[in-house]
Chain A
Amino acid sequence: MIDPESARSLWFPIAAGTDLAARHVFHARLLGRELAVWRADDGHPNAWENRCLHRGVRLTIGINDGAELVCRYHGWRYANRTAECTYIPAHPADAPARTVCNTRYPLIERHGLLWCAEAPGPATSLPELPDELSLTMRAIPVAAPLAAVRTALIELGAVHDGKQLHGAIGEVLYLLQPVDASRTVIRGLLRPAADRSRDERTDRAATANATAYGAADEALLLEHDERLERLRRAIEADPARRHDPDDWPVVAPLVAASLATMPEPGAEGRAAPLRLRVGSMVRTADGSVLEIDLLPLDADAHLPGATPGAHIDLHLPNGLVRQYSLANAPGQTDRYRIGVLREPVSTGGSAWLFERLRTGDVLAASVPRNGFALRRDAVDTLLIAGGIGITALASMTMTLQRGGHAYRLCYLARSAEHFALMDRLAPLGDALECLSGLDAAASRAVIAERLGPYREAHHVYVCGPTGLIGCVRELAAELGWPDEAVHFEHFGNAAPLDTRGAFQVRLARSGLNLTVPDGQTLLQTLREHGVPVPSSCEQGACGTCRVAVLDGQPDHRDVYLNAAERKRGDCLMSCVSRASSAALTLDL
């Protein structure tokens, strides 16, 4: 008998390294549980629960695109390493909720095998095996419980060490993988044939090509393979060894309670749970831009994934909180790349980063948020970047490029020396158009031409100085582009924060009646009364603190909403907006 509960803390081989062929998803089983095992192009092997979180379809029938695993049913994409869902095609305008994350199981690659422990305990470790065992035998599946296979191996002469479920006969070490209550896989490791010189073997190991063995090794593998086949037939022919015990129960992981219902607005506040280490800092664009790599504290750790258009809040040691768009490649979780423009009249953010920041410094940061999400359902996407506005758009173009979508990137800068992030943009080729030194009229003419009259399912994204965004929005409106096809993100709100005049708010869900006094923002009042609202820029530019309005007339004052959204009056930015009517009713 094997106790499946205590076995869940042990390490078992579940696949050979060669089973994880490029862009393949391997179906593995351990202790009754199904696993989707796949290797990304960066070499990292993943072992996940074999179910898409959405509708339970096996991920082993999904698509390994090299960086993400894509579900076959609705195209949900899950990132290498973190298993976070990065994209939900049914709602292309929304960034997925951060907590949509598949269940991962610990996986280690050693001796040409992939070892998995469902819930490794502190006292369990991988079995210590001699390094010379470098030949991996073909896996032999046996329709019999583990105890029966183990007994048969011992009868054949395998010596087992009493701790792990493995044993050796001569030059072969046998390892057992309990698939479920009635099935077991025998895996074997061999020393390479003795007639080969040590130097030759070292060369062979250096090429790390497990399949490139010589004729003598092949004969050895065949001999042992035949021996195991005979054993398998003998076990399966013996009715006493083939009894069908009860199935092992497998607990399906539940999704987080917050995900079990339809998405609601988050309530995380201005939290900074991440700690990031400053890696390389490079000055580009004639010294006006600082490109910074922010790394996890632990070199092997991975950061929460970022969708294209996402930004993080950086909490600077001088007390300022600033938002920076991420120029990350799709699926990149080993670092966040940001670009900081040196502002001639800095309010303290860019000056601090340019003058004070050093490689190795640690900064607190929020998890990535996205108020500028990229749709991937466009027939064609036009991206217009002005200056440092390229950061968010660089991430978008890399995503569109990888997905094979049609797009054009028009990048405007002051002079030919003022282009940043060129290492990320160079591979875009003809899709990238760099324009420098144009005056306002010339920029306007170029933008009008690139936009052209609106065609269905075309989208434009613009990020850059306020003037550029205004120009693109104005031209797009003239050319018949509807508001929902024009996406923009401001760096900040040029209008100073104005908190004059008190007004009343009624909170429909919590039943509170509050007064926002003269001199205070709505967001501050809400927080004082224990109503948590997430926020980021607190200037009405990023959209994080958006709140639904049920009744009353908001006085918007933000730069996030478009004209149609303002006119509807069904939401406001709680960090800057006030009331034109005497009172507002909010969906809080």
Chain B
Amino acid sequence: MIAAVQTPPVDCAAATARPATDPVAQALWHPLCAMETLHQDGALSTRLMDEPLRVSIAGGRAVVQAPQRDGATLPAVVRFGYVWTRPDGVDDPHSGLFQIPEYDEPDRRNVHAATVGVRTSAPRAVENFLDMGHFPFVHTGVLGAEPHTEVREYEVALNEAGTEVLATRCRFHQPQAAAGAAQGMLVEYVYRVPHPYCSVLYKSCPSDTSRLDVIALFLQPVGQERVRAHALVSVIDDDSSDLAIRMFQQSIFAQDKPILENQRPVRLPLDPRAETPIRADRSAIVYRRWLSALGLTYGCLPAPA
């Protein structure tokens, strides 16, 4: 047999380890766990960008320790009911986390709905959250149903400061948009991507037509190809129990998980020729270009220069 001599081409499986030193991703705040969970368990061991971390409570405050850095502590903030940290250790109050103003409204129910481990990259999970076209096929009978498969034209843009992707007038036919709805209707969504690994969804609120329910997805990049997905539900709803809200979100996550875990490559390819976009994917196209412009590589396959 002839010995293998070859130049390394693009690796589909992305098995070649890229050093996990993406300064752009290191300078972001990342979620680690729900405060609720921390209060229950007292302390928690988790991982962030391949590094083991220990989260605990001391004097009523969350503390994040990095055992691989001789036990040094990392900055910790609690926002939206979750503990967040920055792997680069910079505790800069001016480069804070994004805002969700609705979270602080007094009459809202803020429910930590789920933390689910998924073998995918954080950007793949964000794209799936932004995607409506899969509703009839993956969330059949809940968020969509055949034959209502059309993704209507919608607006998407990066804000002027280049800090957030916003998709508006996203409309999709849903079989049971609200509890007790007898027939399907077009539901309108607004999506924000205010952080490369987080997205916030606004949809019409069944109990108050002047306001919007909020579902936020915060991805904790455990590794380049592994995430913990934390879901926050912020609703105006006096009827549903916390358990019912959790059961609903978790059943949706359970439907997405096998799809996400069967996407190849696992990391999001930023080369435009890696996949075939259609008009329905405009938000994903803007999102991918934004990631490229930010120079973010963790969880991505950067486009060849």
Interface set of A (CB-CB < 8 Å, partner B): 1-6, 32-34, 50-51, 53-58, 60-61, 72-75, 88-93, 100, 147, 247, 249-252, 254-257, 259-263, 375-379, 405, 457
Asked if A254 and B273 make an inter-chain contact with CB atoms under 8 angstroms apart, the answer reads yes
Could you say which of A53, A89, A261, A457 has the most chain B C-beta atoms within 10 Å of its C-beta? A89
The minimal Cβ–Cβ distance linking A66 to chain B, given in whole angstroms, is 18
A54-B275, A376-B149, A377-B147 known; A73 vs B265 contact (CB < 8 Å): no
Chain A residues within 8 Å of B282, by CB: 262
CA distance A262 to B12 in the complex (A): 24
Asked if B272 and A6 make an inter-chain contact with CB atoms under 8 angstroms apart, the answer reads no
The minimal Cβ–Cβ distance linking A50 to chain B, given in whole angstroms, is 7
Chain B residues within 8 Å of A34, by CB: 264
CA distance A259 to B280 in the complex (A): 14
4 more CB-based (< 8 A) A-B contacts, given A55-B127, A60-B262, A251-B12: A57-B264, A89-B150, A90-B151, A260-B277
Q: Can you name 15 A-B residue pairings with CB atoms under 8 Å?
A: A2-B1, A2-B4, A3-B4, A34-B264, A54-B275, A56-B263, A56-B274, A61-B259, A89-B136, A90-B280, A91-B279, A251-B10, A261-B277, A376-B149, A379-B147
Of B148, B258, B263, which contacts A377 at CB under 8 A?
Answer: B148
| B36 at interface, CB cutoff 8 A | no
Asked if A54 and B276 make an inter-chain contact with CB atoms under 8 angstroms apart, the answer reads yes
CA distance A249 to B136 in the complex (A): 36
The minimal Cβ–Cβ distance linking A144 to chain B, given in whole angstroms, is 15
Asked if A257 and B273 make an inter-chain contact with CB atoms under 8 angstroms apart, the answer reads yes
Could you say which of B3, B6, B9, B277 has the most chain A C-beta atoms within 10 Å of its C-beta? B277
| B285 at interface, CB cutoff 8 A | yes
A55-B263, A56-B263 known; A255 vs B151 contact (CB < 8 Å): no
CA distance A251 to B12 in the complex (A): 6
Could you say which of B11, B12, B148 has the most chain A C-beta atoms within 10 Å of its C-beta? B12
Chain B residues within 8 Å of A56, by CB: 263-265, 269, 274-275
Asked if B278 and A405 make an inter-chain contact with CB atoms under 8 angstroms apart, the answer reads no
| Residue-wise interface mask of B (1-18) relative to A, using a CB-CB cutoff of 8 A (1 in contact, 0 not) | 111111011111101000
| B133 at interface, CB cutoff 8 A | yes
Asked if A57 and B146 make an inter-chain contact with CB atoms under 8 angstroms apart, the answer reads no
CB within 8 Å of A: which B62-82 residues? none
Residue of B nearest to A85 (CB): B276
The minimal Cβ–Cβ distance linking A528 to chain B, given in whole angstroms, is 33
Asked if B6 and A73 make an inter-chain contact with CB atoms under 8 angstroms apart, the answer reads no
The minimal Cβ–Cβ distance linking A449 to chain B, given in whole angstroms, is 24
| B142 at interface, CB cutoff 8 A | no
CB within 8 Å of A: which B239-266 residues? 258-259, 262-265
Chain A residues within 8 Å of B201, by CB: none
CA distance A377 to B184 in the complex (A): 14
Chain A residues within 8 Å of B272, by CB: 260-261
Residue of B nearest to A6 (CB): B2
The minimal Cβ–Cβ distance linking B167 to chain A, given in whole angstroms, is 15
| B271 at interface, CB cutoff 8 A | yes
Asked if A251 and B9 make an inter-chain contact with CB atoms under 8 angstroms apart, the answer reads yes
| B57 at interface, CB cutoff 8 A | no
Of A5, A72, A255, which contacts B276 at CB under 8 A?
Answer: A255
CA distance A256 to B276 in the complex (A): 9
The minimal Cβ–Cβ distance linking A352 to chain B, given in whole angstroms, is 40
Chain B residues within 8 Å of A51, by CB: 264
Chain B residues within 8 Å of A2, by CB: 1, 4
Chain B residues within 8 Å of A32, by CB: 13
Chain B residues within 8 Å of A60, by CB: 262
Asked if B134 and A74 make an inter-chain contact with CB atoms under 8 angstroms apart, the answer reads yes
Chain A residues within 8 Å of B280, by CB: 90-91
Chain A residues within 8 Å of B279, by CB: 90-91, 262-263
The minimal Cβ–Cβ distance linking A76 to chain B, given in whole angstroms, is 9
| B43 at interface, CB cutoff 8 A | no
Chain B residues within 8 Å of A256, by CB: 273
CA distance A88 to B2 in the complex (A): 45
Of B1, B9, B149, B151, which contacts A3 at CB under 8 A?
Answer: B1
CA distance A531 to B272 in the complex (A): 26
Asked if B278 and A54 make an inter-chain contact with CB atoms under 8 angstroms apart, the answer reads yes
| B137 at interface, CB cutoff 8 A | yes
CA distance A356 to B127 in the complex (A): 57
Could you say which of A56, A88, A457 has the most chain B C-beta atoms within 10 Å of its C-beta? A56
The minimal Cβ–Cβ distance linking A244 to chain B, given in whole angstroms, is 12
Asked if B136 and A252 make an inter-chain contact with CB atoms under 8 angstroms apart, the answer reads no
Asked if A147 and B4 make an inter-chain contact with CB atoms under 8 angstroms apart, the answer reads no
Could you say which of A51, A252, A254, A405 has the most chain B C-beta atoms within 10 Å of its C-beta? A252
| B27 at interface, CB cutoff 8 A | no
Asked if B4 and A4 make an inter-chain contact with CB atoms under 8 angstroms apart, the answer reads yes
CA distance A89 to B262 in the complex (A): 21
The minimal Cβ–Cβ distance linking A381 to chain B, given in whole angstroms, is 10
CB within 8 Å of A: which B201-252 residues? none
Chain B residues within 8 Å of A147, by CB: 1
Asked if B278 and A57 make an inter-chain contact with CB atoms under 8 angstroms apart, the answer reads no
Asked if B3 and A1 make an inter-chain contact with CB atoms under 8 angstroms apart, the answer reads yes
Asked if B6 and A75 make an inter-chain contact with CB atoms under 8 angstroms apart, the answer reads no
A262-B277, A263-B279 known; A249 vs B6 contact (CB < 8 Å): yes
Asked if A252 and B12 make an inter-chain contact with CB atoms under 8 angstroms apart, the answer reads yes
Asked if B278 and A263 make an inter-chain contact with CB atoms under 8 angstroms apart, the answer reads yes
Chain A residues within 8 Å of B133, by CB: 74, 89-90
| B138 at interface, CB cutoff 8 A | yes
The minimal Cβ–Cβ distance linking A181 to chain B, given in whole angstroms, is 9
CA distance A249 to B127 in the complex (A): 27
Asked if B263 and A92 make an inter-chain contact with CB atoms under 8 angstroms apart, the answer reads no
Chain B residues within 8 Å of A250, by CB: 11-13
Residue of B nearest to A380 (CB): B147
Asked if A57 and B263 make an inter-chain contact with CB atoms under 8 angstroms apart, the answer reads yes
Chain B residues within 8 Å of A91, by CB: 150-151, 278-280
The minimal Cβ–Cβ distance linking A512 to chain B, given in whole angstroms, is 28
Chain A residues within 8 Å of B127, by CB: 55
CB within 8 Å of A: which B146-202 residues? 146-151
A53-B275, A56-B275 known; A73 vs B137 contact (CB < 8 Å): yes
Chain A residues within 8 Å of B149, by CB: 75, 89-90, 92, 376-377
Asked if B138 and A260 make an inter-chain contact with CB atoms under 8 angstroms apart, the answer reads no
Chain B residues within 8 Å of A262, by CB: 277-279, 282, 285
The minimal Cβ–Cβ distance linking A77 to chain B, given in whole angstroms, is 12
Asked if B275 and A90 make an inter-chain contact with CB atoms under 8 angstroms apart, the answer reads no
CA distance A344 to B156 in the complex (A): 55
CA distance A255 to B11 in the complex (A): 16
Chain A residues within 8 Å of B262, by CB: 57-58, 60-61, 72
Of B2, B3, B259, which contacts A72 at CB under 8 A?
Answer: B259
Chain A residues within 8 Å of B265, by CB: 56, 252
Q: What 10 A-B pairs come out closest when comparing CB atoms? A: A89-B149, A252-B12, A260-B272, A90-B133, A90-B280, A377-B147, A254-B273, A90-B151, A58-B262, A260-B273
Chain A residues within 8 Å of B269, by CB: 56
A55-B263, A61-B262 known; A255 vs B274 contact (CB < 8 Å): yes
